[in-house]
Structure 1
Amino acid sequence: MAESDPQILRGLIGQMADALRRCREKAVALGRKTASERIAVFLLGMAERIGTAKGTSVILDLPMSRRDIAESLGLTIETVSRQFTILRDAKTIETSGRSLVILHDVSQLRAQAGYLAGAA
């Protein structure tokens, strides 16, 4: 089907490129980044994939528990919880319940993740 429709093929290639970029970012995050950088990269990635923009904030309904996040990022659940608390105290994020996270300062998260200004 993709062979007969160039638009479908372009879409598939784009999705594969995005998946490869995410895998590369995760490998770098696990190998070189601090806990705070890993959490920031994770939240930005989730914002890109499942976030809903509301004004200058991004709303996330995370499909993962803190334990799942910790395992995914190579951290302990205590470290994940501590990093979320630090971000909440800094007003960078707001949390409600187990899954709702509101990103109030995406530029601060990008800086914390080690992203250059204007870079993806």
Structure 2
Amino acid sequence: MPGTSPYRAKNKPPAKPVVLIVAVGLAYYSARKNYKLIREFPTGRGFADIIFLPLPHTKSPAMVIELKYDKTADTAIAQIKEKHYTQALEGYSGEIVLVGINYQKESKSHSCVIEHVKK
């Protein structure tokens, strides 16, 4: 269909910019020996965009990543906390890294907030 792409409908911005998904995917590719990547992880109160779940042989922390578009990275962190995404990591205890990433369309810039919590 002319004027559209597989990532967005005509005249509408993508819900999750592809560039962020690709960047996180590349991060996973380099960490795949230590992590299992789960996209759109069901939490009981929504879906965390991406979970990096450490494999049993590593002492790496779990990571919960929430992506936003034209909002703020703090909004992403707030969503992780408000919807209790970390509670869905059954059987995991230890450090969890919360990552909120935002893409601003107009300025074409990214922002990121990282917090550490214990479970």
TM-score, normalised relative to structure 2: 0.33
User: Relative contact order (C-alpha < 8 Å, sep 6+): which is higher?
Assistant: 1
Q: Which has the higher strand share?
A: 2
Larger Rg: 1
